[in-house]
């Protein structure tokens, strides 16, 4: 396959940045999108140019590091991560636009790499349980109903990639935050800090400069893990409940 | 062997942001939070929606002639009697509505500015579809805000209604819809209202946490029905005057 790849190039956080077009040949449709970028970078290095910086780690759709907006869609045209997207989703001769996540809370570090530490701070505000668990407990010590376990697991699937923020026209982190809030609210281990958790996580989300939800649904469409839109409704319910309930 | 994990209290995690001597009051927490402001928007929106439901039914009385419609206009002033003095009930409703409009508009402006600031850079590869609903809400809300002012000047204070007579609401309504601009303004505003309610009612359910996967379809259907009924009900009056059914 032969492609024109237009990539956002930005030397560092302060530099202005612009889209740059590259012609690239010899792309196989079995390559992943990141392998296509690797191929591009080989050419760039060989011709003495600065390679395109992009985040990646596991390359198997579980770490959440890869973060590319491809032709305007976070993670590209398929419901998966950019590392699990294959070049067969594109046609020979296509022009492909690759941009970084865009949100005030995710400043660009270089090229396609953004700083997502705002997500870490939301998690630090309450996305954990404080019980000292030691080694893995005996599996039957705390009984969890099947529905609750399934519900928790559905939300625990969030890999913190930030595609929801990138896709949202308001740069809102509601889907990400709701995933953790719903995950822990469904489990007995999460119960002691249930109210404090949602209040602190939402306050941190606001303080980090993410926007609000206007129910466009773009986040849930972009999410590679299928965190559903009603999870945001459930978080709103948790938040209102926490305001009324005991505040520890 | 059991590895002890150090227990951290919620307090260490909470030091993000300004350290606070006293936890903020619930009201402050509420107004400062995006979720709280959305709740204010939803509640004020639902208050206005309840009012509009009563308002449209009142308006439809024009189809039963001037006596019935004008009697209804007079009753509005007697509302709450004999407990309330003449016009007190009306003023209570007006104050509640004014508060709702103000709270709604202030929250909308603050939230919208925040949302725009949260996404300062647009993507080079455009996808206009993404913000359709949000943009419709913002423009629709703005149009409705202007309309509310015009509507009060037209049929409440009669300032801009050339042929109006105080105490003759039926004749004043006919006068309004006997001008081309009266029809254009009202019909445009009511179409904006329909779109605003369609997305707004569904949003409000989500904001208040009453929606959910199972109820989503029912809520959407309710939003469509409400939007359609109110828009059709309000537009029926100018259409009736235009076609001579009401004169
Ligand atoms: C002063 C005129 C108005 C303005 C400026 C306005 C503006 C807005 C805006 C911008 C939103 C979206 C808020 C966001 O960004 O999250 C909204 C939502 C809403 N509006 Fe209005 N609007 C107005 C009048 C009305 C009226 C007359 C109604 C009555 C039916 C109404 C009902 C609603 C509802 C129910 C919502 C959803 C609240 C939520 O998201 O939870 N609005 N309005
Ligand atoms: S909710 Fe989905 S899109 Fe958002 S961070 Fe989690 S996995 Fe990524
Ligand atoms: S590189 Fe780990 S999810 Fe894509």
CATH classification of the domain holding A77: 3.10.20.30
Residues of B with CB below 8 A from A134's CB?
A: 2-5
Global confidence as pTM = 0.88
Domain contains A173: yes
pLDDT tens digits along A11-24 = 999 999 999 999 99
The residue among A53, A199, A182 whose CA lies nearest residue A122 is: A199
Yes or no, beta carbons of A212 and B216 under 8 Å apart? no
| CA A164 to ligand 3 center in whole angstroms | 15
Q: Quick check: A131 pLDDT over 80?
A: no
The residue among A132, A118, A126 whose CA lies nearest residue A196 is: A126
Domain contains B3: no
pLDDT tens digits along B4-34 = 444 444 444 444 445 556 677 888 888 999 9
With a 6 Å cutoff on the Cβ, whether A29 touches ligand 3 is no
State whether A201 and A128 are in the same domain.
yes
Percent of chain A past pLDDT 70, that is, above it, reads 98
Mean pLDDT of A189-217: 95
If one counts the domains in chain A, the total is 2
Q: Determine which of A214, A230, A242, A245 to mutate to test the interface with B (most B C-beta atoms within 10 Å).
A: A214
Q: Is A15 exposed, middle or buried (0-12, 13-18, 19+ CB in 10 A)?
A: exposed
Return the minimum-mean-pLDDT range out of A46-55, B6-15, B36-45.
Answer: B6-15
State whether A101 and A183 are in the same domain.
no
State whether A190 and A77 are in the same domain.
no
Picking from A62, A88, A110, the residue at the C-terminal end of a domain is: A110
State whether A102 and A125 are in the same domain.
no
**Strands A73-74, A18-24: pairing kind:** unpaired
Q: Name the residue at shortest CA distance from atom 8 of ligand 2.
A: A161
Q: Is B247 exposed, middle or buried (0-12, 13-18, 19+ CB in 10 A)?
A: exposed
pLDDT tens digits along B132-161 = 778 889 999 999 999 999 999 999 999 888
Domain contains B128: no
Give me the pLDDT at residue A152, please. Answer: 97
Q: Name the residue at shortest CA distance from atom 22 of ligand 1.
A: B141
Residues of A with CB below 8 A from B207's CB?
A: 236
State whether A76 and A125 are in the same domain.
no
pLDDT tens digits along A149-187 = 999 999 999 999 999 999 999 999 999 999 999 999 999
With a 6 Å cutoff on the Cβ, whether B209 touches ligand 1 is no
Q: Quick check: B199 pLDDT over 50?
A: yes
Domain contains A88: yes
In this complex, the residue of B30, B39, B124 whose CB is nearest that of residue A97 is: B124
What is the predicted ipTM? 0.90
Q: What is the DSSP letter of A133?
A: -
State whether A106 and A135 are in the same domain.
no
| Host domain of residue B146 | 34-117+136-243
Q: Quick check: B223 pLDDT over 90?
A: yes
If one counts the domains in chain B, the total is 1
| Host domain of residue A33 | 3-110
Q: Quick check: B237 pLDDT over 60?
A: yes
Give me the pLDDT at residue B51, please. Answer: 96
- Closest residue in B to A218 (Cα) is B130
Domain contains B123: no
Mean pLDDT of B185-208: 95
Give me the pLDDT at residue A164, please. Answer: 98
pLDDT-derived band at B2 (thresholds 50, 70, 90) equals very low
Domain contains B7: no
Mean pLDDT of B52-74: 93
| Cα–Cα distance, A51 to A40 (Å, whole number) | 8
State whether A77 and A123 are in the same domain.
no
pLDDT-derived band at A133 (thresholds 50, 70, 90) equals low
Distances (CA, A) of A190 to A27, A153, A155, A186: 47, 13, 13, 7
Domain contains A218: yes
pLDDT tens digits along B90-109 = 999 999 999 999 999 999 99
Residue B114 CA, distance from chain mean position: 20
Q: Name the residue at shortest CA distance from atom 19 of ligand 1.
A: B200
Picking from A87, A110, A133, the residue at the C-terminal end of a domain is: A110
Domain contains B195: yes
Domain contains B12: no
State whether A83 and A151 are in the same domain.
no
State whether A61 and A157 are in the same domain.
no
| Cα–Cα distance, B148 to B154 (Å, whole number) | 10
pLDDT-derived band at A98 (thresholds 50, 70, 90) equals very high
State whether A31 and A106 are in the same domain.
yes
How does the average pLDDT of chain A come out, rounded? 95
The residue among A43, A63, A61 whose CA lies nearest residue A52 is: A43
How does the average pLDDT of chain B come out, rounded? 88
State whether A59 and A151 are in the same domain.
no
Give me the pLDDT at residue B1, please. Answer: 35
Domain contains B109: yes
Q: Quick check: A217 pLDDT over 80?
A: yes
| Cα–Cα distance, A2 to A14 (Å, whole number) | 33
Domain contains A28: yes
Picking from A95, A110, A125, the residue at the C-terminal end of a domain is: A110
Domain contains B159: yes
State whether A169 and A78 are in the same domain.
no
Ligand with minimal distance to B230 CA: 1
Domain contains A248: no
In a 13 Å sphere around the CA of B102, the CA atoms on its Cβ side amount to 6
With a 6 Å cutoff on the Cβ, whether A58 touches ligand 3 is yes
Q: Name the residue at shortest CA distance from atom 1 of ligand 2.
A: A176
| Cα–Cα distance, A193 to A130 (Å, whole number) | 8
Residue A130 belongs to domain with CATH number: 1.10.1060.10
Q: Reply yes or no: is the peptide bond before residue B82 cis, omega within 30 of 0.
A: yes
Mean pLDDT of B61-82: 91
Q: Which tokens sit at A11?
A: 């030397």
With a 6 Å cutoff on the Cβ, whether A63 touches ligand 3 is yes
Q: Quick check: A88 pLDDT over 70?
A: yes
């Amino acid at each position: 396959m032969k492609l024109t790849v237009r990539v956002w190039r930005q030397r560092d956080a302060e530099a202005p940045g612009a889209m740059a077009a590259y012609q690239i040949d010899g792309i196989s449709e079995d390559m992943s999108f990141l392998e296509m970028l690797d191929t591009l970078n080989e050419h760039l290095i060989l011709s003495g140019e600065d390679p395109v910086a992009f985040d990646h780690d596991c390359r198997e759709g579980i770490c959440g590091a890869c973060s590319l907006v491809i032709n305007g869609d976070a993670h590209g045209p398929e419901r998966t991560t950019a590392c699990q997207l294959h070049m067969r989703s594109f046609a020979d001769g296509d022009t492909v636009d690759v941009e970084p996540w865009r949100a005030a809370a995710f400043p660009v570090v270089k090229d396609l790499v953004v700083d997502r530490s705002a997500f870490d701070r939301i998690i630090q505000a309450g996305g954990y349980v404080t019980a000292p668990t030691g080694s893995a407990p005996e599996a039957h010590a705390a009984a969890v109903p099947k529905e609750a376990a399934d519900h928790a697991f559905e939300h625990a699937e969030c890999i913190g990639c930030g595609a929801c923020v990138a896709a949202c026209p308001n740069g809102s982190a509601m889907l990400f935050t709701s995933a953790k809030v719903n995950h822990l609210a469904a489990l007995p281990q999460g119960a002691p800090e249930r109210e404090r958790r949602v209040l602190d996580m939402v306050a941190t989300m606001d303080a980090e400069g993410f926007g609000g939800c206007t129910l466009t649904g773009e986040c849930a469409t972009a999410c590679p893990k299928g965190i559903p839109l009603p999870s945001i409704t459930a978080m709103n319910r948790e938040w209102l409940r926490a305001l009324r309930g005991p505040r520890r | 062997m059991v590895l002890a994990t150090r227990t951290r209290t919620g307090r260490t995690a909470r030091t993000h942001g300004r350290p606070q001597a006293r936890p903020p009051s619930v009201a402050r927490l509420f107004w400062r939070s995006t979720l709280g402001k959305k709740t204010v928007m939803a509640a004020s929106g639902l208050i206005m929606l309840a009012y509009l439901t009563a308002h449209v039914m009142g308006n439809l009385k024009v189809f039963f002639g001037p006596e019935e419609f004008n009697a209804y206009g007079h009753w509005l002033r007697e509302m709450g009697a004999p407990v309330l003095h003449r016009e007190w009930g009306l003023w209570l409703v007006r104050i509640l509505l004014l508060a709702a409009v103000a709270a709604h508009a202030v929250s909308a402006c603050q939230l919208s500015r925040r949302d725009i600031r949260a996404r300062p850079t647009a993507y080079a590869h455009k996808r206009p579809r993404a913000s359709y609903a949000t943009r419709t809400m913002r423009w629709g809300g703005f149009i409705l805000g202007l309309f509310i002012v015009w509507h009060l000047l037209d049929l409440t204070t009669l300032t801009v209604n050339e042929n109006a007579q105080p105490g003759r609401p039926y004749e004043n309504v006919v006068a309004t819809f006997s001008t081309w601009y009266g029809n254009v303004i009202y019909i445009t505003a009511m179409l904006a209202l329909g779109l605003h309610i369609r997305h707004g009612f569904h949003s409000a359910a989500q904001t208040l946490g009453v929606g959910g996967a199972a109820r989503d379809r029912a809520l959407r259907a309710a939003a469509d029905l409400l939007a359609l009924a109110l828009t059709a009900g309000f537009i029926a009056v100018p259409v009736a005057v235009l076609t001579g059914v009401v004169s």
